[in-house]
Amino acid sequence: MSESLEKHIRAIPDFPKVGIVFRDITPALLAPKVFKELCDSLYAHCKGRPIDKVAAVESRGFIFASVLAYKMGIGFIPMRKPGKLPWKTIHEKYSLEYGEAAIEMHIDAVSKGDRILIMDDLLATGGTAAAAARLVERQGGIVDELAFVIELTALNGRSNLKGRSVYSLMQF
């Protein structure tokens, strides 16, 4: 990944609570060449993999997963906070570095044997990604890989994803 991209990731201390350093990708999204490089790098990593669908957790994961799904010619699975999807869902709780949360996906989003790439902007503790993987697997899908733009290595999120393929473009 280029130095240019790293310069477009803003560190925001004490957000969303004291002690957390939030990594803001918004400056990278605002810079067309940087956003293109970011998307192209993710695509270069994923193209040719035997993936049927790309899943992402709202909201920033949607940005990258939808681009990948489009470029790869495959389906996109939105995973959202409870009550945000309009049809029948399955639900999974998880812990964050600053609390607890839950995500849902439609019950028909994953078919038995589907190979799924799970995409998000950030790997912190791994709680969100692990919950997304559990949703896929509960429906009979296979998690091909979990991919991230940024990995916060000090939070050791990979430890919550043991036995799974994990990829990140940048580590902080």
Q: Give the three-state DSSP class for 144.
A: strand
Higher pLDDT, residue 59 or 16: 59
Higher pLDDT, residue 96 or 105: 105
Across residues 10-16, what is the average pLDDT?
92
Integer Cα distance of 54 and 17 in angstroms: 30
Q: pLDDT tens digits for 74-100?
A: 999 999 999 999 999 999 999 776 678
Classify burial at 17, counting beta carbons within 10 Å of its beta carbon; exposed 0-12, middle 13-18, buried 19 or more.
exposed
Integer Cα distance of 131 and 58 in angstroms: 13
Catalytic site positions: 60, 97
Among the residues of 47-115, which ranges form H helices? Answer: 60-72
- Cα-Cα-Cα-Cα dihedral of 15, 20, 21, 24, to 10°? -50
Q: Tokens for 133?
A: 């993987």
Domain ranges of the chain: 48-171
Q: Which fold has domain 48-171?
A: Rossmann fold (3.40.50)
